[in-house]
Amino acid sequence: MTTNVRQYRDLDLNFTRNPATGDVALRTGDQAVIRSVRNLINLSYYEKPFHPEIGSSINQMLFEPMSPLTAQHVKNHVQDVINNFEPRVKLDQVAVQAREADNQFEVFIRFYILNNSSPTTVTVFLERVR
């Protein structure tokens, strides 16, 4: 009996060169999906060519006053963008902590990558860039 295990591949956005082919290297497996989740969180609407609908308004919320309500809005937007635009994961939990001293939000994301039974945890720091 053979099992069908899907191998996920994405371009390496550091644009490192593949030593064998000289082309852009690929990210494979869990690292490709983790990179995709991080990119989706940081992507604003109209930034992706030919797909203006992909993205979120998380970056605009970073300029709002730090409050539990803003943290809840960030959490909701993170959940929406992952559920809508990353079909390779099943979202389990999102927690957002406001770090007022550092002027940033710390986002903890736990999800299951399809064809993988162990959970993956990603921590993303969202901060304003002037």
Domains of the chain: 30-127 (3.10.450.40)
Question: Residue holding tokens 């203006």?
Answer: 52
pLDDT tens-digit profile of 10-23?
Answer: 666 666 777 777 77
Alpha carbons within 13 angstroms on the beta-carbon side of residue 101 total: 0
pLDDT tens-digit profile of 51-87?
Answer: 889 888 898 888 888 889 999 999 999 999 999 999 9
Mean pLDDT score across all residues of the chain: 85
